[in-house]
Amino acid sequence: MDPIYVFGHRNPDTDSVVSAIAYAALNNALGENEYIAARLGHLNDETSYLLEHFGFDPPMYLTTVRTQVKDINFDRPPLLGRGVSVSHAWSVLHEDNNVACLPVINDQGGLYGMLTAGSIAEHDMESIHRPQVTDVPVFNLLSAIEGRILNDDEDVFAHLSGEVVIALPSAGPCLKGVKPGSIIICGQQDDVIDEAIRLGASCVIICQGDVADKYRGLSSPTCLIATPCDPYRAVRMLYQAIPIERIAQSKDLVYFHLDDYIDDVKDTVLQSRYRAYPVLDGHNRVVGTLGRFHLLRPRRKRVVLMDHNETRQSVLGLDQAEIIGIIDHHRLADVQTAGPVFMRNEPVGSTTTIVATMYQERGLMPSAPLAGLMAAAILSDTVMFKSPTCTQRDRIMAERMARIAGIDLDQLGRDIFSVGVSADKTPEEMLRTDFKDFQIAGHSLGIAQISCLDTEKILARLPELLPAMEKLRAEKHYDMVLLMLTDVLKFGTELIFCGDEDVIRMAFNVTPVDSCHVFLPKVLSRKKQIVPALALLWG
């Protein structure tokens, strides 16, 4: 069963990361497939601190959910070594009518070439007009004709070459004009065998007969082989005993890797006309083949969206994924699904509160470390229960998680917000801290939020922050870029803005300082205070 990826929004905050971890853990504990928690960006200082504090590794970094080759049910035909005989390859193709091509691999499992039934047929037709064979491996020939070597054990034969001659029974000399080094195919004809040895034949294949004792253990430069096959079959098998590396296509190969995206694969396939294409893994080892029909209905990655339901805030390639669930506490946005999905959207202060409720509903108690992490996420997203988005349920669930973890919520809250933002962060890194996009009445808006106990240190870096905000605004074509410095102790937010000063003045009824920032008392929530005020202004 393919895994289900659980992730929050881009530029993840603690709530989006922890809710994904907790929801994946809940479903895995209940045996609900395989859920993998992921994140869509670098962790901020607060989240990194909390994960380390409670003993959790960061979730996997997910950059895209575009459909890849590894997501489709490509064929896994037998892989043949390049020394395998043509006859064996044909039997493999004949046994499975669904296999159009066979990958030919080298000793390390890498791609050497591709072999098709057409390649074998072409070789077979060419052999009609070519009486010679070159360097046929003896082991391949013995296997193809079920033969055995009669010579003395000291005689060593690795390869056979020469003109192929069938010696028919006749009253006169049957090997007249035969060149030395030829390969003679005959029945139990002692005179023919003796003459072939005298002429210096490279090999004598004795078909369907009892071999005279005088040839058993004979030391001779001529290889003597006995086979139960009739002469016709022996000749055909002789030509098909060559290694497939000689007839396989090994140049200008078109192949794909497991991580290649289906969109790119389709473009390449449309420019070529092969029936099948080899698929390689990360070590360039062949793992299968894919055809055009595999690309018609590829399996989509299955995902669960946590703490968001807006395409602009989600992972790249979301339109190619199968959304099976959405758990969020924000407004409903523009995410569309192909069919009905499980959705839980509740007016609480933290998505982790919803997940904690689901643990309770399913009768499962999270581990102490996970409960502590969940309590921290609720505290973080509700700004220690001071945010206007906070509800009684947030308080109740945070207290329950704290009791399970055996921790003090007040002390945990002080620890969380004392982490703040590292002084060595660049302005660009600060802006990526919990950054979200919004579309309001035709206006494009980007808002970053940093919660801390001391905003003065960050305000001192205004000369660095403002150019970075202006650059971001230009690159992303935002109408405005806002940075919320939410001060838990002051119970308000220092709002740094880049854009039309009149918008801030009219939306919040304030007079900005130096046309770039203003303190908003009792403003702690982006979604319930900042965004609604701008939406009201812009209509």
**Mean pLDDT calculated for residue range 397-406:** 97
Region 4-67+301-419: CATH code: 3.90.1640.10
Higher pLDDT, residue 529 or 170 = 529
Q: Which residues pair with 280 in a beta bridge?
A: 257, 286
User: Residue 158, Cβ neighbours under 10 Å: how many?
Assistant: 8
What are the beta bridge partners of residue 101? 116
Give 467-478 pLDDT, tens digit per residue: 999 999 999 999
**The pLDDT of residue 171 is above 70:** no
4-67+301-419 matches 427-538 in fold: no
Tokens of 56: 């959790």
Under DSSP, is residue 183 helix (H, G, I), strand (E, B) or coil?
strand
Domain limits, the chain? 4-67+301-419, 427-538
CA distance 174 to 169: 7
% of the chain with per-residue pLDDT over 90? 70
Q: Which residues of 446-463 are buried (b: 16+ CB within 10 A; e: fewer)?
A: bbbbbbbeebeebeebbe
pLDDT score at 174: 66
Helix axis angle, 14-29 to 351-361, nearest 10° = 20
- Terminus-to-terminus CA distance in the chain, angstroms? 47
Which value, in Å, is the radius of gyration of the alpha carbons in the chain? 37
Smallest CA-to-CA distance from 105 within 294, 295, 293, 289 is with: 289
> At residue 487, does pLDDT exceed 70?
yes
Contacts of 443 (CB under 8 A, 6+ apart): 479, 480, 534, 538
pLDDT band for 489, please (50, 70, 90 cuts).
confident
Model confidence at 430: pLDDT above 90: no
What is the predicted pLDDT for the residue at 3? 93
Q: In whole angstroms, give the CA distance from residue 35 to residue 28.
A: 6
The side-by-side arrangement of strands in the sheet containing 111-116 is 80-81, 101-105, 111-116
Amino acid, single-letter form, for residue 530: I
165-179, 233-247, 266-280: least confidently modelled range: 165-179
Residue 338 CA to its chain's centroid (Å): 23
Q: What is the predicted pLDDT for the residue at 265? A: 94
d(CA 90, CA 282): 30
Helical H segments across 260-301, by residue range: 262-270
CATH of domain 427-538: 3.10.310.20
- Tokens 């995410």 correspond to 335
